């Protein structure tokens, strides 16, 4: 054991990959062509986390504001890139720029508010707090804006005639797209809301479980989990609403006509 946590022996760690073999077996017999994606995802996850573990060990042993900010920059860059890749539709350059602004603005405002006001640790760049919290906020905001974008653009493509009909009748672009924008915002925050509803009864979240396993009082772990979930829902909401208010204008021409999507 290490600090109250059971060390997983190498062979037991390898045994966990039996679940991947089970998944591969299921998709194979069901004729679902996902074997390549499953293997790639498993290898990437393993390699990325091992590398991240060594990097975090180095940063924790040598805390520096510049290293912490560098890690946040890398997180934001990869999150923005993942949004571009996960959106099912081709994004124009202005929309890509709006995604980047919304991601950086929404997550950093939420992150610094959470760290400086809610948790209030010192120094402000303490990597043991800053980096894990940033990862949860940035990751969930990335998922939220991806869902929102796919919902919004998909609806506008499918219901283009409805939007153009409203515009022809004199509606403003904002009024013509209100329903689709609201649906996109709802889709973005729904996964986090579902997690909040089921948490504590249906499942225990990863952060809370990790703290309990490391010997932290369950009540303290609950305080942190509630706080971080509130920070996450706020960050997702702020990120998506920033994109909506800045980006929806790029969906229309200067003559209030819907752009080709």
Q: At 83, is the pLDDT very low, low, confident or very high (cuts 50, 70, 90)?
A: very high
Question: What does the pLDDT average to over 230-253?
Answer: 86
* Confidence grade of residue 106 (pLDDT, cut at 50, 70, 90): very high
Query: Does 154 have pLDDT greater than 80?
Result: yes
User: In the chain, what are the domain boundaries?
Assistant: 1-62, 65-251
175 compared with 138, residue with greater pLDDT: 138
Say whether pLDDT at 192 is over 70. Answer: yes
Q: Is the pLDDT of residue 210 over 60?
A: yes
The most confident of the ranges 33-42, 162-171, 221-230, 239-248 is 33-42
- Torsion from C-alpha of 201, 12, 45, 154, nearest 10 degrees: -40
């Amino acid at each position: 054991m290490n600090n109250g946590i059971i060390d997983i022996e190498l062979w037991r760690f390898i045994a966990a990959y039996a679940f991947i073999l089970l998944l591969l077996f299921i998709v194979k017999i069901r004729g679902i062509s996902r074997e390549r994606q499953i293997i790639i995802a498993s290898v990437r996850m393993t390699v990325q986390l091992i590398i991240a573990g060594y990097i975090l060990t180095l940063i924790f042993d040598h805390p520096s504001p510049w290293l912490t900010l560098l890690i946040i920059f890398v997180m934001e860059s990869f999150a923005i890139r993942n949004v571009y890749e996960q959106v099912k539709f081709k994004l124009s350059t202005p929309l890509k720029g709006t995604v980047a602004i919304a991601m950086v603005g929404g997550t950093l405002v939420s992150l610094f508010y959470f760290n400086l006001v809610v948790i209030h640790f010192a120094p402000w760049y303490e990597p043991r707090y800053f980096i894990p919290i940033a990862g949860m906020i940035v990751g969930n905001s990335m998922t939220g804006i991806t869902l929102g974008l796919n919902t919004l653009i998909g609806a506008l493509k499918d219901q283009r005639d409805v939007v153009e009909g409203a515009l022809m009748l004199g509606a403003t672009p904002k009024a013509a797209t209100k329903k689709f924008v609201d649906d996109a915002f709802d889709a973005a925050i729904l996964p986090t809301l579902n997690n909040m509803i089921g948490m504590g009864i249906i499942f225990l979240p990863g952060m809370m479980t990790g703290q309990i396993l490391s010997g932290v009082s369950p009540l303290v772990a609950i305080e942190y989990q509630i706080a971080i979930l509130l920070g996450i829902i706020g960050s997702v909401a702020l990120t998506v609403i920033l994109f909506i208010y800045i980006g929806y204008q790029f969906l229309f021409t200067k003559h209030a006509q819907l752009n080709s999507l």
